[in-house]
């Protein structure tokens, strides 16, 4: 996130991220967005407790609709599914248009976010994988700029994570292989319509490609 200026954290829950960043960077202020009353109140309480009411403003509302275009330079949206994050970005084009950077942490389906970036003129400038308590978290930073078409593997695993062969990439690919195996197992017990058979063939092909990708990692 920027170290000065103003950013918005959407779906902030207890506002932990904006509180941390604003305390760390004296030139930074934030807007917190929450759609649910309970977390919105929790964010207000936390901001008050840290005596940050003059630097963090809490707003109740859906996604980026709480912002006027140009009100913040950057937005973070963390801890939601990739499809939800993508929908939040798509619902407010006028706000997105004025942003300089976006930090996203999709819990699932990160490819939805990366494909949105590729289709909408955003460049992936940083990607990180973090492991905590056996779970993997993906963080993606986007900046306005020439977007690049992505292969299916790049959309799923991240072009930068693949290029840099991130130390946790092996764990991430194994996770995807297990997910594939679980879906295949379920489909084996479904009525074998043409669609189901087609999906099974796709997943079997994906398993082969994921295994090859694993072997290619140093
Ligand atoms: C799992 S929490 C993540 C909290 C925090 N961002 C984090 O990463 O720890 C997801 C939060 O997003 C909020 N949320 C979900 N959809 C939203 C939307 N469209 N607009 C604003 N907040 C939303 C939920 O109410 C919930 O508090």
What is the C-alpha to C-alpha distance for residues 123 and 15, in angstroms, rounded to an integer?
27
Average pLDDT of the residues in 63-89: 98
Q: What is the pLDDT of residues 12-40, one digit of tens each?
A: 999 999 999 999 999 999 999 999 999 99
Task: Say how far residue 138 (Cα) sits from the centre of its chain.
Answer: 7
Residue 216 is predicted with a pLDDT of 92
Residue 218 is predicted with a pLDDT of 78
Mean pLDDT of the chain: 97
Query: Which of the listed residues 1, 15, 20, 35 should we mutate to test ligand 1's pocket, taking the one with most ligand atoms within 8 A of CB?
Result: 35
Question: Which atom from ligand 1 is nearest to the alpha carbon of 87?
Answer: 19
What is the C-alpha to C-alpha distance for residues 79 and 214, in angstroms, rounded to an integer?
27
pLDDT surpasses 90 at 201: yes
Question: Which atom from ligand 1 is nearest to the alpha carbon of 88?
Answer: 19
Domain ranges (residues) in the chain: 5-159, 172-216
What is the C-alpha to C-alpha distance for residues 88 and 101, in angstroms, rounded to an integer?
15
Question: Which atom from ligand 1 is nearest to the alpha carbon of 9?
Answer: 6
Q: Is 13 in the pocket of ligand 1 (CB under 6 A)?
A: yes
Strands (E), the chain: 5-10, 28-34, 56-60, 74-80, 101-106, 122-132, 135-144
Q: Measured in angstroms, how far is the CA atom of residue 16 from the centroid of ligand 1?
A: 12
pLDDT band with cut points at 50, 70 and 90 for residue 148: confident
The position carrying tokens 């619902």 is: 91
Which residues, 6+ apart, have CB-to-CB distance to 37 below 8 Å?
60
Q: Is 79 in the pocket of ligand 1 (CB under 6 A)?
A: yes
Counting residues of the chain whose pLDDT is more than 70, the rounded percentage is: 100
Asked if 42 and 65 touch (Cβ cutoff 8 Å), the reply is no
pLDDT surpasses 90 at 4: yes
pLDDT band with cut points at 50, 70 and 90 for residue 123: very high
Query: Which of the listed residues 11, 58, 75, 130 should we mutate to test ligand 1's pocket, taking the one with most ligand atoms within 8 A of CB?
Result: 11
Query: Which of the listed residues 16, 43, 79 should we mutate to test ligand 1's pocket, taking the one with most ligand atoms within 8 A of CB?
Result: 79
Q: Is 127 in the pocket of ligand 1 (CB under 6 A)?
A: no
What is the C-alpha to C-alpha distance for residues 11 and 133, in angstroms, rounded to an integer?
22
Would the CA dihedral through 63, 105, 111, 161 be positive or negative? positive
Q: Measured in angstroms, how far is the CA atom of residue 168 from the centroid of ligand 1?
A: 26
Residue 42 is predicted with a pLDDT of 98
pLDDT surpasses 90 at 145: no
Which residues, 6+ apart, have CB-to-CB distance to 185 below 8 Å?
none
- The b-or-e profile of 50-62 (16+ CB within 10 A means b, else e) is bebeebbbbbbee
Angle at 42 between CA 39 and CA 44, to 5 degrees: 115
pLDDT surpasses 90 at 100: yes
pTM of the full structure: 0.95
Nearest Cα residue to atom 1 of ligand 1: 79
pLDDT surpasses 90 at 146: no
Nearest Cα residue to atom 11 of ligand 1: 11
pLDDT surpasses 90 at 61: yes
Average pLDDT of the residues in 67-94: 98
Class assignment of domain 5-159? alpha beta
Q: Is 113 in the pocket of ligand 1 (CB under 6 A)?
A: no
Going by their DSSP bridges, the two strands 56-60 and 28-34 should be labelled as: parallel
What is the C-alpha to C-alpha distance for residues 54 and 66, in angstroms, rounded to an integer?
18
């Amino acid at each position: 996130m920027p170290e000065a200026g103003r950013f918005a954290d959407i779906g902030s829950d207890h506002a932990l991220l904006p509180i941390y960043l604003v305390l760390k960077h004296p030139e930074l202020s934030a807007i917190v967005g929450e759609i649910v009353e309970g977390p919105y109140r929790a964010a207000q309480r936390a901001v008050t407790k840290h005596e940050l009411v003059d630097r963090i403003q809490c707003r109740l509302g859906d996604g980026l609709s709480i912002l006027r275009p140009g009100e913040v330079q950057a937005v973070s949206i963390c801890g939601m599914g990739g499809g939800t994050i993508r929908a939040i970005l798509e619902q407010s084009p006028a706000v997105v248009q004025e942003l300089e950077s976006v930090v996203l942490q999709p819990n699932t389906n990160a490819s939805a976010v990366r494909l949105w970036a590729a289709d909408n003129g955003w460049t992936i400038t940083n990607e990180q994988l973090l492991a905590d308590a056996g779970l993997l978290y993906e963080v993606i930073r986007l900046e306005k700029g020439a977007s690049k078409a992505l292969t299916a593997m790049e959309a799923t695993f991240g072009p930068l994570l693949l290029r840099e062969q991130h130390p946790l990439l092996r764990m991430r690919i194994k996770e995807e292989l297990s997910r594939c195996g679980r879906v295949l197992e379920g489909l084996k017990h479904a009525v074998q319509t043409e669609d189901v058979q087609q999906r099974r063939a796709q997943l079997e092909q994906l398993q082969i490609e994921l295994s090859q990708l694993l072997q290619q990692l140093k």
